[in-house]
Amino acid sequence: MSGILFLRKKCQQSIIQEREAIDLEKIQKIVENQQRFYQSGVTRQLSVRISALKRLKTVLMKNEQQLTAALKVDLNKSAYETYASEIGIVLSEISFAIKHLKKWMKPVKVKTPMTHLGSKSMIYSVPYGSALIIGPWNYPIQLILAPLVGAIAAGNCAVLKPSELTPQTAQVISDLIEETFPSDYIAVVQGDADTTQSLLAEPFDYMFFTGSVPVGKIVMEAAAQTLTPVTLELGGKSPCIVHADADLDLAAKRIAWGKFMNAGQTCVAPDYLYVHKSVKEPFLKKLIQATQSLYGQNALENSEYTHIVNGKHFQRLKGYLSEGEIVHGGHFDESRLAIEPTILEKADWTDTVMQEEIFGPVFPLIEYETLAEVMEGISKNPNPLSLYLFTQNQKIEDTIVQSVSFGGGCINDTIFHIISPYLPFGGVGSSGMGSYHGKASFDTFSHQKSIMTQTTRFDNPYRYPNAKNGLQVLRRLLK
């Protein structure tokens, strides 16, 4: 019997090794073909880029129901939330790129200093080549296709690696991309962490990653081996501040929306809440009312309320419920991986809920009296991806914006800044590097190539070491 088990185990290992070998061979072939296709110069043509963007837009619009159904299975996302936070944002990015791409692609003429008399200076935006785009599970459509818009607009080929934690959505995206583009141009590779490691080992010309800080470090380490440029869109504990002079009704509504959409599984969601002592009690009542208005008296019975992605994350979030004091919510349904919007008080900075990025519908509330307390508390964590401040005081706004390091944010709102194509979105420090959205996406996937065209009508003699009075002329010009 033991011999049979041994043979069975060896057979299983052999199958796994064979499958891994096939997957690795497939990945290598895709990358080789994309590099060959890029070298043909086809993807650099304006007409090809515009056509590809239009095809991507068409396939998303035609398959909205299919994508919505997949997200309903993976995360129980409602049709409204799927369009508002996923499909609609990508469509907007595509439309913006199509409208402005011709202008973005034009070489930019810049000034030339006196030392370069007779020359002309230009900056050309040129594509990198083949880009690897690794997407997360929390917004599995938006956060993998929005970067793709930038990659296509800039003239690159791309390989997409969707998250295996949202398998239905990943499969639909894979099918749609396969139907729309040749794999030599745009391809999707599905798989787990091992597949990601295999992709990271390939000689891509650019890497774009959205996800957690620990995995971001792995991506950056892999990119360092080949000095591949990389954009990292990570996370962190994004603070939200409600000052004494805030419009409490609007603040409560906008904060509840920003925190509990997608069940809090948003990288830019308010992670914890600072409320001024003088308005804490009335604001807390309004925040609870706003939350109930959005999701009902019992969110667990709301069929449109998003669920937690898997059991591991559910257990992690459930553990936070034993920290601090629950002032609203706290109920959950493990069978459906659902946790209702929950507000905590009296959580301590030593609690895990205040040390880790929450990434779920648990919201710690801290009372404060001075802005110095707030800035000291924020400084205890690495640079947040976002910050939200509710105040009518310009001086307080300036103090926070200029004194606290964070990726981006809003004054008197939450999350809305990431929807504007005119605002580059990205982190700073441990919350990420690089940015995208709108023209920033085009710039991210483009190398800025500087070219100087020198005149042949005359030659400046001072540049040569044997020039008469060359040193004196150089000193005057370089001052």
Kindly report each contact of residues 82-88 with a partner whose C-beta sits within 8 Å and lies 24 or more positions away, as own/partner: 82/141, 85/139, 85/142, 85/261, 85/262, 86/139, 86/140, 86/141, 86/142, 87/60, 87/141, 87/142
Ramachandran area for residue 330 (φ above 0: left; ψ -120 to 50: alpha; else beta): left
* Annotation marks residue 233 as catalytic: yes
Give the active site residue among 86, 93, 240, 267. 267
* Annotation marks residue 267 as catalytic: yes
Give the residue numbers annotated as catalytic, written as ranges. Answer: 233, 267
